[in-house]
Amino acid sequence: TFGEDAGTDEDLEQRPPVVTVMGHVDHGKTRLLDTIRKANVGEGEAGGITQHIGAYQVETHLEGNDRVITFIDTPGHEAFTAMRARGAQATDIAIIVVAADDGVMPQTVEAINHAQAAEVPIVVAVNKIDKEGADPAKIRGQMTEYGLIPEEYGGDSMFVDISAKQGLNIDELLEAVLLTADASLDLRANPHMDAQGVAIEAHLDRGRGPVATVLIKRGTLRVGDSIVAGDAYGRVRRMVDENGDDVAEALPSRPVQVVGFTSVPGAGDNLLVVDEDRVARQIADKRNARKRNALAARGRKRISLEDLDSALKEHSQLNLIIKGDNSGTVEALEEALLGIEIDDEVQLRVIDRGVGAVTETNVNLAAASDAVILGFNVRAEGKATELANREGVDIRYYSVIYQAIDEIESALKGMLKPVYEEVELGKAEIRAIFKSSKVGNIAGCMVTEGSVRRNGKARLVRDGAVVSENVTIQSLRREKDDATEVRDGFECGMTLSYSDIKVGDIIDTYELREKPRD
Ligand code: GDP
């Protein structure tokens, strides 16, 4: 995650937390980001002409200490998850805004799901408390249903009642962000290295050419550095902050607008500093080629139950996103799926659910969390199918609930317990027994059917009855040489894991093969 870092303990220095604001439409995300930004522009700065570069930093105070927080200026979980789908996690903490006069709405739940899927701690901002009908207590009750239990009720989520419009309790909200960060995250990064970061926004500017806002994750970015981001490369000609001021170097968690790319990188592309321009170009070219190949390969890829199995084997967790035509079916499907009995070793997690078509945001969340999407009486919308093919995301459609359950159940069960079947290999009859002081009893045998193998499993059968179920052929010799296999019609000597043998006993040997699933 964002928290891990390169370098020894001494190299690591405290960095500001990076915050994304999410929540339902019209609950006040944009207003909150504006209020926080404005509250922080110093009085002297001529009305504070700020620039929207996609992120900004504010200074705040916690228990007498000056602290900085970085805000991503694109609200909403769509951008957040689209970046994650590209392999970039640029957020430490999510503020989830809920309007106190409206309550928890579908996109509030989505935002919670997306933040939880990314394992990002949440601070809840209960907004619009200036409005008539605002009921902050009701919001707390609703949020509890989604696992966000307020601290004051003994939980570990911080709730702050605010008014983004009136600028009420904004400092308290920032304080809650810092307290949450300090309590649950190791916010340290090594500034003494070449910079690594993530492009959070990029566009082509008429005057300046390609411009990208980069959030530094570790190291220090300097003017003059050779850089590569995705398949774009270049050299840092200029860096500008959110106030339009030139910056010579940018430390971890600092967002800066970078001028100097030869093409426009993508949002979510990771940025690297390299030794030379030439290297930057080579990496960019390679990535370009790789991307083309990957796209071609993904376009062909079809995902089967076996893929689902192997995903499970890797993670022992199956993440699901459920989309359905109405909330009743979605709930029924979720409940039924969560009711599937499975061993403790694997987990079934529904990371998001909703009514309506499968969207690009659903696909991005699936790509970011290795999830499978179940569509119940719905289809994919717009470019969602295309994106799913490109990202290798499995979307499964159903119109009958039990089919969905059967399929997920068989994937889970199959993954848990591979079914083995016994395959007969052969039989050997003990014709003589030799005692060896070194290896114990040696059975002199004649292979009468099939073959016997060293390390093979066998049953020992005497007069038609099984004497021992679980015998291993420990060594196998033919004439004077060790053998791995001896076929029927040949004599051999073997030692067995079972020593109480008699002449006339039959060694009935078999192999366990994993049974192919249907
Ligand atoms: P977003 O869709 O979540 O970004 O919501 P906006 O920030 O655009 O806010 C939606 C509407 O709610 C706007 O008209 C805001 O002015 C208004 N609004 C936002 N915060 C508050 C608040 O604290 N109190 C009141 N009364 N209105 C607010």
Quickly list DSSP for 63-127. TTEEEEEEEESS-SHHHHHHHHHTT----SEEEEEEETTT---HHHHHHHHHHHHTT--EEEEEE
Centre of ligand 1 from the C-alpha of residue 127, in Å: 8
Is this complex's ipTM strictly greater than 0.90?
Answer: yes
Residue with tokens 């409005």: 131
Q: Please state the atom number of ligand 1 nearest to the C-alpha of residue 166.
A: 23
Q: How far apart are CA 420 and CA 412, in angstroms?
A: 16
How many of the other CB atoms lie within 10 Å of CB of 129? 21
Centre of ligand 1 from the C-alpha of residue 83, in Å: 25
Pocket probe mutation, ligand 1, options 26, 102, 110, 132, max atoms within 8 Å of Cβ:
26
Q: Please state the atom number of ligand 1 nearest to the C-alpha of residue 23.
A: 3
Could you tell me which residues come within 8 angstroms of residue 238 by beta carbon, excluding any fewer than 6 positions away?
208, 223, 246, 258, 259, 260
Centre of ligand 1 from the C-alpha of residue 165, in Å: 7
Centre of ligand 1 from the C-alpha of residue 340, in Å: 42
Q: Please state the atom number of ligand 1 nearest to the C-alpha of residue 97.
A: 3
Centre of ligand 1 from the C-alpha of residue 31, in Å: 6
Q: Residues marked as binding? A: 23-30, 73-77, 127-130
Q: Tell me phi and psi for residue 66, to 5 degrees.
A: -75, 130
Token readout for 51 is 């620039």
Q: Which residues line ligand 1 (CB under 6 A)?
A: 23, 25-31, 75, 127-128, 130-131, 163-165
Distance in angstroms between the alpha carbons of the first and the last residue of the chain: 38
Assign 408 to helix, strand or coil: helix
Degrees, nearest 5: CA angle 5-7-8:
115
Q: Please state the atom number of ligand 1 nearest to the C-alpha of residue 24.
A: 3
Are 71 and 55 spatial neighbours (Cβ–Cβ below 8 Å)?
yes
Q: What is the DSSP letter of 150?
A: B
Q: How far apart are CA 197 and CA 493, in angstroms?
A: 66
Rounded alpha-carbon distances, angstroms, from residue 516 to 257, 349, 415, 424: 55, 26, 12, 17
Centre of ligand 1 from the C-alpha of residue 28, in Å: 4
Are 11 and 190 spatial neighbours (Cβ–Cβ below 8 Å)?
yes
Which residues sit opposite 69 in a β-bridge?
58
Q: Please state the atom number of ligand 1 nearest to the C-alpha of residue 168.
A: 23
Rounded alpha-carbon distances, angstroms, from residue 111 to 116, 135, 142, 463, 476: 8, 21, 14, 70, 64
Q: How far apart are CA 171 and CA 30, in angstroms?
A: 17
Assign 3-state DSSP to the chain and report helix, strand, coil percentages, each to 5: 30, 40, 35
Supply the residue whose CA is at minimum distance from atom 6 of ligand 1: 28
Pocket probe mutation, ligand 1, options 31, 95, 161, 170, max atoms within 8 Å of Cβ:
31
Token readout for 123 is 């601070």
Alpha helices in 196-326 (DSSP H): 277-300, 305-315
Q: Please state the atom number of ligand 1 nearest to the C-alpha of residue 162.
A: 23
Centre of ligand 1 from the C-alpha of residue 171, in Å: 18
pLDDT at 27: 97
Q: Residue 89's closest CA among 114, 107, 57?
A: 114
Supply the residue whose CA is at minimum distance from atom 18 of ligand 1: 28
Residues of the chain with pLDDT under 70: 1-7, 40-50, 286-316, 341-346, 413-419, 515-518
pLDDT at 5: 60
Q: Please state the atom number of ligand 1 nearest to the C-alpha of residue 164.
A: 23
Q: Residues marked as binding for GTP? A: 23-30, 73-77, 127-130
Rounded alpha-carbon distances, angstroms, from residue 428 to 210, 284, 436: 77, 64, 20
Are 448 and 355 spatial neighbours (Cβ–Cβ below 8 Å)?
no
Centre of ligand 1 from the C-alpha of residue 242, in Å: 23
Q: Residue 315's closest CA among 367, 369, 365?
A: 369
pLDDT at 181: 94
Supply the residue whose CA is at minimum distance from atom 9 of ligand 1: 28
Which residues sit opposite 68 in a β-bridge?
59
Are β-strands 122-127 and 158-161 bridged in parallel, bridged antiparallel, or unpaired? parallel
Beta strand spans in 184-325 (E): 188-189, 196-205, 209-218, 221-222, 226-229, 232-240, 249-250, 255-261, 270-274, 317-324
